[in-house]
Amino acid sequence: MKKSVLLFSIAFFLVISDVLLAQGDLTPKGMDVFQVKEETRYMSQGNNPALVVELPQADPKLVAKLWKKYIQDYDAKVKKGKEGELFADDADIPGIGEGNTVDVYAKIKDSGDGSELSVWFYLGGAYLQSKMHPDRFKEGERFMEQFAIMVKKELIEQEVKAEESRLKELENELKKLERDNERYHQIIAEAEKRIEQAKADIEENEKAQKDTQKALEEQRKRVEEVKDRLKKIE
């Protein structure tokens, strides 16, 4: 019962995520699913304003794989630079670039039980930051939140696969137990038949013993009679 509820909840989340993705907004209104922070971080071009988000339970390799897929949807090719930095040249992100392409730098590192993603959006002459670009910064936050939910969705899909795999294992285990149970019943049925046959054989054997005992006694009498006749002749 608990497993069914869990799988239903996961399936519901995935359906809602797909609907929101199709609408171009993965963040439910009025709810900050992921906190996007603005911090100055060091990257290949020095210390610059970055948007940072924590991705719980997400392995850095998975985050890097998904980030490449995500950023490529904005017509940008991702290159790997120094210290694992990912560089996307000339990304077409309308809400952030406002008609111009954007160079996107990203760094991913271990953080607690998951990963931390830091992203720098170079607008040409300046990096995206809330004070200089308040409207575009909001789009940057939304951009990061969409990616964070994409990662969360991937994690839940992996969890679904793991749960389905465990479910399949349990189903196979149950089938084996059912086959074993059927075999045990067959063994019992066959044993009961042998027991009934043995009981019948015992009855027949006891009757045969009585008949043989009676025949034995009669034969002893006949032996004695013959011996008596022999004695009379002597």
The pLDDT value recorded for residue 18 is 52
Average of per-residue pLDDT across 63-67: 97
pLDDT tens digits for range 69-100 = 999 999 998 999 887 899 999 999 999 999 89
Q: What is the pLDDT of residue 170?
A: 96
Q: What is the tens place of the pLDDT at every residue in 147-175?
A: 999 999 999 999 999 999 999 999 999 99
Q: What is the pLDDT of residue 231?
A: 83
Residue-wise pLDDT tens digits, 112-124 = 999 999 999 999 9
Q: Distance between CA 54 and CA 33 in Å, rounded?
A: 11
Please determine, for residue 31, whether its predicted confidence score (pLDDT) is greater than 80: no
Q: 53: which residues sit within 8 A by CB, 6+ positions away?
A: 34, 35, 36, 37, 116, 117, 144, 145, 147, 148
How far apart are the C-alpha atoms of 132 and 94, rounded to whole Å? Answer: 17
Q: Domain-by-domain residue ranges, the chain?
A: 2-167
